[in-house]
Structures are given as C-alpha cells and as structure tokens.
Amino acid sequence: MIYFDHAASSYPKPDSVAHAMHEAVSSYSANPGRGGHKLAERARSVINEARKTIASFFNAPSSKHVWFYQNATMALNQALLGFPFEEGDHVVATKFEHNSIIRPLERLVIEKKITVTYVEPNVDGVISVDAMKKAITNKTRMFAISHASNVTGAIVPLREISLLTKEKQIMLLLDASQTAGTISIDIDRDGIDLLALAGHKSLLGPQGTGVLVTKGDFDLRPLIVGGTGGASESPFQPLQWPERYEAGTMNTPGIAGLLAGIKEVEALGLNHIWQHEQALMRLFISEVQEIENIKMFGPSDLTNRVAVISLSMNNLDSHELAVILDEHYDIAVRAGLHCAPKAHETLETSEKGLVRVSFGPYNTKKEVERLIEALKEISLAF
Ligand SMILES: Cc1ncc(COP(=O)(O)O)c(C=O)c1O
C-alpha cells in the first residue's frame, strides 16, 4: 500500500513510537501520579518528560502550559468552549476551518450569542492579512484560524496576522493540526496565545493524542471536570495547571508514543521534513498539471503551501476516484469534504468533493511517480 493520507493521520509511525507504547503497556501500565508507588511514578515521569519536550518544541513558557487531550478537536473545544466569551463578542475565523473550529463556534453563536465572520481567501487561495483586518469589529475578541488548510494546504501569513492581533488586543487561537511537525512554530516568536494540535499527524505520534499549548495565564473554563489525583477533598476542580485541564486517567501509552514521535521529528529535523515534502509536492504538481482533465486547487505560490493537494477529475465523484486508486492501485488518498465544508463552498466543490493527496516524511519519489502514472491511466478512461 502506498499511503498518501498523512493530513488525516500519519502512517507508518516510527518503530520507536510502537516500542514506547508497548513498553508503557507492558512495563509501567499504572495510573500516572495516582498512588505514589514506583510504577505510578514512572508513568508520571514519562508524561512529565513529554510535557517538557512539547513545551520546549513550541517554546511554551513552562510545561504546565501544555495540556494533553484525545485529539486536536478536543484541544480546540477546550480553547473555544472554555474561553470566557460574553454575549455580543465577535470571532474571526476563515473559510478554511475544520469542523473542529466551526462546530464549537456555531455552538457558541447559539449558546453565548457571539458572532463569527469566516474570512474568504483571495484569488490565489490565500487568507490575506488585509482581509483579516477588514473583518475586525470593536467586539472582536479572538481570531480562531488554521495555520494551514487541510484541503488546499494554503498557509496563513502567521507573523503578520499575529502582529495584527497584538495591535488590536485580540486573542490568537491557532489550529496547527496540519503544520506541527512540518513547520517551526514558536508560540512566543509567532505571537500565539492558544495553540491546538494533533499528536497523530506530522508529529508522528499515535491516535488518541492532541495538545493545547497556552501562552498567557488567562483562565479557561475546564471542558471536563473530575479526578486529578490530588486535592480530592474539594468538590471543585483544582486551580493549578495542568491538573485543572486534565481530569481523568491520562493516555499514558499514547503520550509515551507521542514523545517518541516528537523525538523522531527532532532527529529527522523540521527543515529536512519540510524540504522533502516540498520536493514531493512540486514533483506531483508539475506532472499532474499536464493531465488535461485534472484540476488542482490551492495557491500557485508553492512556498505558501504544506504538502496537501486536492484535485478533481472531470465529472468523477471524488469517492469513485479514491476507490479506484485504493482497489486497483493500492494507493490511499482521502475523498470528500475533509470536515471542512466552508472550504469546499469557496472552491465550489461541495457536490462531488475532492480527492486529497498528502505526503509524509517517509514517502518516496518513486511512490509519487506511481500515483502520477495511476492518475494518467485513470484520466484516459474518464
Ligand atoms: C486543520 C485541522 N484541524 C483539526 C483537525 C482535527 O484533528 P483530530 O482528528 O486530531 O481531532 C484536523 C484533522 O483532520 C485538521 O486537519
């Protein structure tokens, strides 16, 4: 199987990830921090190491600013539903948001009577700072935006946008699900207040892992309350971080695996990963643009893109094309709307969806050439 669905979840995971998870299950599968015995302490120390590694990877103020969740969706829900919005507050998002931003926001529209503007990309498919600026009102409290679109790969001009948020005293929530592990992110340098990400995509960790990294010391309402292993006499959620935001038994095997995944990313080097995936994307785009009945979407300036390319072939439904690639060529891609319905509205592809191809650090030129050949063959039949 040739795997080109890294934007959904990376595969294969490094062996070190599987080993770390196996070790967590077989050698210290105790409840981290609960009980105080040696095994619980070992589990806790692995989680602490993961927290420290992530804090340093994204330059968080401290490891207590790193909170573990099940996925990026849960981290985004914590950031959005936990934020102290008041009636009439306004949020600026973009047409490229994933449902894990759209749906919590739309819930807040109903429950807290906030308003939301979804900014359109420009003609080249990029979200401009000017468009973001124009969307600001005197009620704007937050920008909630994806660092890169999971449909077109378009990257937002993060530094300029964050300068704008600082100037206007607006919170910046960044969904880095498509960039963490591919692009260097420094929450201080990049002016990010809340950074949500998936552990199971380019950070090469296992599914069941997501992270919210915070910069400030503002108080979010915990999404979930319950046991934290300490202050058990109190009926209320403790105030101290990260416990306040991590009720219930932690996903120790997943977090151990995520730690191993991040170590692998560090060993490969972000720059190497970026260059490798860019080279595959450039090869793919340059060949596929010559195929007459294929249309590709996304910015023409390839420096503004992560290695995510969506395409359509004539009138073929995206699911049909993906099934042909899967069944006849053993190539995995993702069809449909990619949980980003507004992006497809903008691209006018809601009806048939698109086939998304996304590359990862272990994909090879040969694999990409195989996909190009497959698309050429299929295009002759439709
Ligand atoms: C941009 C973006 N945000 C959020 C998510 C949600 O990630 P998770 O499945 O880890 O909740 C995804 C996953 O596809 C994504 O691409």
Q: Which atom of ligand 1 is nearest to the CA of 199?
A: 10
Rounded to an integer, what distance in angstroms lies between the CA atom of residue 246 and that of residue 148? 27
Rounded to an integer, what distance in angstroms lies between the CA atom of residue 352 and that of residue 218? 43
Q: Is the Cβ atom of 78 under 6 angstroms away from ligand 1?
A: no
169-195 pLDDT tens trace: 999 999 999 999 999 999 999 999 999
Sheet with 334-336, strands from edge to edge, namely 294-297, 308-313, 354-358, 334-336
89-133 pLDDT tens trace: 999 999 999 999 999 999 999 999 999 999 999 988 999 999 999
Confidence of residue 260 (pLDDT cuts 50, 70, 90): very high
Say how many Å lie between the CA of residue 4 and the centre of ligand 1.
Answer: 16
Confidence of residue 298 (pLDDT cuts 50, 70, 90): very high
What is the pLDDT of the chain when averaged over all its residues? 96
Say how many Å lie between the CA of residue 96 and the centre of ligand 1.
Answer: 12
CB of 12 within 8 A of CB of 362?
A: yes
Residue 217 is predicted with a pLDDT of 81
Torsion of CA 129, 131, 136, 142, to 10 degrees: -60
pLDDT value at 218 more than 90: no
Residues in the chain: 382
Mean pLDDT of 214-236: 91
In 3D space, the residue among 142, 55, 163, 52 whose CA is nearest the CA of residue 94 turns out to be: 142
3-state helix, strand, coil in the chain (%, to 5): 40, 15, 45
Say how many Å lie between the CA of residue 127 and the centre of ligand 1.
Answer: 19
9-66 pLDDT tens trace: 999 999 999 999 999 999 999 999 777 899 999 999 999 999 999 999 999 999 999 9
In 3D space, the residue among 234, 207, 255, 192 whose CA is nearest the CA of residue 72 turns out to be: 207
Residue 230 is predicted with a pLDDT of 84
CATH code assigned to 15-267: 3.40.640.10
Q: Residue 374: left if φ>0, alpha if ψ -120 to 50, beta else—which one? A: alpha
Ligand 1 pocket mutation, candidates 71, 100, 334, criterion most atoms within 8 A of CB: 100
The CATH number, out of the four listed (3.90.700.10, 3.30.110.60, 3.30.2180.10, 3.90.1150.10), of the domain defined by the range 269-381: 3.90.1150.10
Mean pLDDT of 240-256: 96
Rounded to an integer, what distance in angstroms lies between the CA atom of residue 226 and that of residue 35? 17
Domain boundaries, the chain: 15-267, 269-381
